[in-house]
Amino acid sequence: MTREVLCVREDLDVDSARALLTERAQGGAPVVNRERKLIGFVSMSDLLGDEANGATVDEVMVRAVVTLPESATLAQAAAVMAFEGLHRIPVLRSDRSVAGIVSAIDVLRHLARAEGYLLPSYTQRQRTQSVRGSRC
């Protein structure tokens, strides 16, 4: 899983959220409240609809979010992704704060590395910090 996760606040305007996700080349982000607890998930498609004009993230996000506990195995994550048709799932600590996010790419990368097809040095990506975004 990726531990440095871009989270957005519920009160962020849709235009800023869209720009942030575009800047980071991300298809979505967990939405957290002031206490940094997960309250939803917003995808780029949520931010592009007509109803998104002039709205806040709170108004367009999905509130029913499939999550995993930190103790979940990679096989459990893969099973949930396949069953639910999801590309990414937030991983939560016991207090509902975001510990990370596991993506389909993370699962594929692990499988490739385990079979010797992917070297660890090529899997590390540098992420830049943004003034508008925050780590969870």
* Sequence letter at residue 50: D
Q: Name the nearest CA neighbour of 98 among 20, 31, 21.
A: 31
Q: Which stretches in the chain have pLDDT values below 50?
A: 123, 125-131
Helix axes 104-114, 74-84, angle to 10 degrees: 140
DSSP state of 52: G
Q: Which residue has the tokens 């096989």?
A: 75
All structural domains of the chain with their residue ranges: 6-124
pTM of the model as a whole: 0.81
* Sequence letter at residue 68: L
- As its CATH architecture, domain 6-124 has Roll (3.10)
Percent of the chain at pLDDT > 70 equals: 88
62-98 pLDDT, tens digit per residue, is 999 999 999 999 999 999 999 999 999 999 999 999 9
Task: Answer yes or no: are the C-beta atoms of 135 and 19 closer than 8 Å.
Answer: no
